[in-house]
Amino acid sequence: GLQTVPRALQTVAVEPAPGEELQPLRGAAGAIAKNMNASVSIPLATSQRIIPVKVIEENRQLINHHRGLLGKGKISYTHIIGWAVVKAVQANPSLNHAFTENNGEPCRILRKEINPGIAVDVAAKGGGRSLMVPNVKNAGSLDFARYAAAFDDLVNRARTGKLATADFQGTTVSLTNPGTVGTMASMPRLMVGQGAIIAVGAMDYPAEYRGVTQEVRSMLGISKVMSVTCTYDHRVIQGAESGAFL
């Protein structure tokens, strides 16, 4: 039969020093730990591009001006980037594939629906942070307005503790945006059963131009950029496919 979960990985036990305490990882924290252990079984590769963001900024301003006239909430950069991921996967469907084994034979899972997982950073009980990655179901069949509504619903329910198990099931490709906390580039871990995870960094001017005046940047045509990485399962996705997706 199909095998999608790798064999248990040995974990090296670290003995606490005198005076140190052990805090069990339960709930979401425990699930993250188990998923990270399992992700070690995936042979990963990463592609990266630096992308100008001027068009994204302008489109977001236009969209939000229109939504403001209609009394609707604002669209974030992550909304637009997530929509771009869906469209890019439609043009490069191999990014939506996954690896499995059937009676010991390596196989590719060909998925017809795109279920993008959206990483949501939420406050954990007792302090700290927790990362939840629910997915938008069959996002390729939605128009932008319905996609944005489904996106907002996931984020709201993640932050109010109302997500269900089904919200996490069937993720085919994930998006994480560490740029919201200032990270310039990231190469995240890929979960078992997914083909790729996309990470976007902070939007800013190239470092060598941040100290010059806006007039100089305008004269040189320097715009803000962001780093986009695609970390993928190299068993079913190749570098050329990742590059074409980016």
What pLDDT score was predicted for residue 131? Answer: 83
What pLDDT score was predicted for residue 67? Answer: 93
The answer to which of 115-129, 153-167, 221-235 has the lowest mean pLDDT is 115-129
Name the average pLDDT for the chain. 90
What pLDDT score was predicted for residue 62? Answer: 96
Tens-digit pLDDT profile for residues 69-107? 999 999 999 999 999 999 999 999 999 999 999 999 999
Higher local confidence (pLDDT), 88 or 38 = 88
pTM over 0.75: yes
Which residue is catalytic, options 65, 66, 79, 234? 234
- Give one DSSP letter per residue of the chain, joined into a string: -EE-SPPPPP----PPPTT-------HHHHHHHHHHHHHTTS-EEEEEEEEE-HHHHHHHHHHHHHHHHTTPPPPPHHHHHHHHHHHHHHHSGGGG-EEEEETTEEEEE--SS--EEE-EEEEPTTSSEEEE--B-TTGGGS-HHHHHHHHHHHHHHHHTT---GGGTTT--EEEE-GGGGT-S---PPPPTT-SEEEEE---B--GGGTTS-HHHHHHHT---EEEEEEEEETTT--HHHHHHH-
- pLDDT tops 60 at residue 34: yes
Query: What is the rounded distance in angstroms from the CA atom of residue 36 to the CA atom of residue 33?
Result: 5
What pLDDT score was predicted for residue 89? Answer: 98
Is residue 66 part of the annotated active site? The answer reads no
- pLDDT tops 60 at residue 7: no
Using 50, 70 and 90 to split pLDDT, how confident is the model at 9?
Answer: low
Tens-digit pLDDT profile for residues 101-148? 999 999 999 999 999 999 998 877 766 777 889 999 999 999 999 999
